[in-house]
Amino acid sequence: MVLTYSSSEIKMQIKDFNLLEVSSGKKKSMKDFFSSKATVIMFICNHCPYVKHINAELVRLSNDFIKKGVSFLAISSNDEEKYPEDSPENMKKIHHKLAYPFPYFFDEKQDVARYYCAKCTPEFFIFSGKGNLYYHGQLDDSRPDNDIPVTGLDVRNVLKNILKGTNINSPISKLSYGCNIKWKT
């Protein structure tokens, strides 16, 4: 594991990609999962201890906000050959084991991670219903090596403000850190 911070260089617009959605085993268009209220795109993976640390909160957070019209999409962009735990087959197992209420996509060509300038797992991007970036960064301040509880506070606050109709003129950024994305060579 190489500790990596999220990028300060980010894309301001949501973009559609066709990717393997692991629970169905079919390629699907990400835009079919975008919401007219807000869409959360999460770069995660199976093996990262930082993601494992927040998995239960990802499920709680998603369940809390999906019923309010927010969509969540998880993406793993890691090289499956070097990191077999992050293969689509193992992603599907984790998706079912943890009861993820959101689609879990495999970014085989790593195009999605490149487009969004994603650098680490976990890393979050929140877009308005119109596709404009509202937030980029961490879930909250909790990490496996500190005693701060996992609450999803940063993402929860942004989503609450979006649902209240709060106008966000420029994207909020609070850098995340975790495992680096495992790039193909």
Give the type of residue at 31.
K
Q: pTM for this one? A: 0.94
Q: What is the mean pLDDT of residues 25-52?
A: 97
Answer whether 6's CB lies under 8 Å from 122's CB.
no
Give the type of residue at 90.
N
Residue 175 lies inside a defined structural domain of this protein: no
Answer whether 124's CB lies under 8 Å from 141's CB.
no
Q: Is the pLDDT of residue 1 over 60?
A: no
Residue 34 lies inside a defined structural domain of this protein: yes
Residue 178 lies inside a defined structural domain of this protein: no
Residue 176 lies inside a defined structural domain of this protein: no
Q: Is the pLDDT of residue 10 over 70?
A: no
Give Cα 108 distance to the centre of its chain: 16
Task: Give residue 161's pLDDT.
Answer: 93
Residue 58 lies inside a defined structural domain of this protein: yes
Q: Is the pLDDT of residue 2 over 70?
A: no
Task: Give residue 171's pLDDT.
Answer: 80
The count of other CB atoms within 10 Å of the CB of residue 68 is 13
Instruction: Give the model confidence (pLDDT) of 127-139 as tens digits.
Output: 999 898 999 999 9
What does 22-83 look like in DSSP terms, one character per residue? TTTTEEEEGGGG--SSEEEEEE--SS-HHHHHHHHHHHHHHHHHHTTTEEEEEEE-S-TTT-
Confidence of residue 172 (pLDDT cuts 50, 70, 90): confident
Look at the chain and report how many structural domains it folds into: 1
Task: Give residue 170's pLDDT.
Answer: 75
Residue 134 lies inside a defined structural domain of this protein: yes
Residue 147 lies inside a defined structural domain of this protein: no
Residue 59 lies inside a defined structural domain of this protein: yes
**Residue range(s) defining the domain that contains residue 49:** 3-142+152-168
Q: What is the CATH number of the domain that holds 75?
A: 3.40.30.10
Instruction: Give the model confidence (pLDDT) of 95-119 as tens digits.
Output: 999 999 999 999 999 999 999 999 9
Instruction: Give the model confidence (pLDDT) of 41-68 as tens digits.
Output: 999 999 999 999 999 999 999 999 999 9
